[in-house]
């Protein structure tokens, strides 16, 4: 008996016994987990409402457990953009064409009424940005915002012949899309330049 006890004290036997114990423990856990999973009711299925008894009725110990019915989650619907005679893309294209043809009346007609007042009292020469060339960059019939590339004469008559991106925002006025805001876009964002930019 002493020989058996001494050999069990050997580290090889202790490691082997530990591994065997872990394997057996894992087997017991898996066995119980498999049994529990086989008796669970799958999500979305209804359990039977009663177990039939030999007397034709229901077993008094069985009950019906109703499962909650998930409600459909409402998805937000985007506000539809109004369909008018001219789409936002057509208004901005008309504006660009008018600038390039030096048709200032048509260019100004694309502005909202509040901005058309600027024509009567243009911004001072020290801050005025006059558009001399326009090219459509990114416009859409389904967005009230578009980007145009403009060549301008800046404050104090400065000109470098570069196209720069400007963001044009439109709004509906008297049943038509009109330019309501202009922002000059730089690498770190767009700055409102509505009161400075004129055709």
* Residue % of the chain over a pLDDT of 90: 44
For residue range 40-55, what is the model confidence (pLDDT) as tens digits?
A: 545 544 444 444 444 5
SS3 state at 148: strand
Q: What is the pLDDT of residue 63?
A: 57
Q: φ and ψ at 133, to 5 degrees?
A: -155, 145
The CATH number of residue 182's host domain is 3.10.450
**Domain count along the chain:** 1
Q: What is the pLDDT of residue 6?
A: 58
Q: What is the mean pLDDT of the chain?
A: 76
Q: Is the pLDDT of residue 80 over 80?
A: no
Q: Which domain holds residue 175?
A: 88-198
Q: What is the pLDDT of residue 15?
A: 61
Say if 115 falls within a structural domain: yes
Q: Distances in Å between the alpha carbon of 27 and those of 17, 31, 32, 75?
A: 15, 6, 9, 47
Q: What is the pLDDT of residue 53?
A: 46
Say if 7 falls within a structural domain: no
165 closest CA partner among 189, 194, 198, 181:
189
Say if 184 falls within a structural domain: yes
**In angstroms, rounded to a whole number, what is the distance separating the alpha carbons of residues 119 and 141?**
27
For residue range 170-188, what is the model confidence (pLDDT) as tens digits?
A: 999 999 999 999 999 998 8
Say if 165 falls within a structural domain: yes
Q: What is the DSSP letter of 137?
A: E
For residue range 144-179, what is the model confidence (pLDDT) as tens digits?
A: 999 999 999 988 888 888 999 999 999 999 999 999
Q: What is the pLDDT of residue 138?
A: 93
Say if 33 falls within a structural domain: no
Highest-pLDDT range among 82-86, 97-101, 117-121? 97-101
Say if 98 falls within a structural domain: yes
Say if 121 falls within a structural domain: yes
Higher pLDDT, 128 or 25: 128
Say if 94 falls within a structural domain: yes
Q: What is the pLDDT of residue 186?
A: 92
């Amino acid at each position: 008996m002493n020989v058996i006890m001494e050999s069990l004290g050997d580290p090889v036997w202790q490691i082997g016994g530990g591994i065997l114990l872990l394997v057996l423990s894992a087997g017991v856990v898996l066995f119980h987990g498999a049994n529990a999973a086989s008796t669970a009711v799958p999500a979305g299925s209804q359990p039977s409402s009663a177990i039939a008894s030999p007397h034709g009725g229901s077993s008094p110990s069985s009950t019906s457990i109703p499962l909650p019915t998930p409600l459909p989650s409402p998805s937000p619907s985007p506000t539809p953009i109004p369909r008018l005679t001219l789409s936002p893309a057509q208004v901005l294209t008309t504006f660009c064409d008018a600038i390039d043809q030096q048709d200032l009346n048509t260019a100004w007609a694309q502005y909202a009424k509040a901005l058309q007042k600027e024509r009567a009292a243009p911004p001072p020469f020290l801050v005025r940005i006059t558009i001399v060339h326009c090219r459509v960059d990114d416009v859409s019939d389904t967005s009230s915002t578009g980007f145009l590339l403009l060549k301008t004469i800046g404050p104090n008559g400065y000109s470098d012949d570069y196209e720069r991106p400007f963001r044009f925002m439109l709004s509906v006025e008297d049943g038509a899309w009109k330019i309501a805001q202009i922002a000059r876009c730089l690498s770190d964002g767009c700055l409102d330049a509505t009161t400075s930019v004129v055709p």
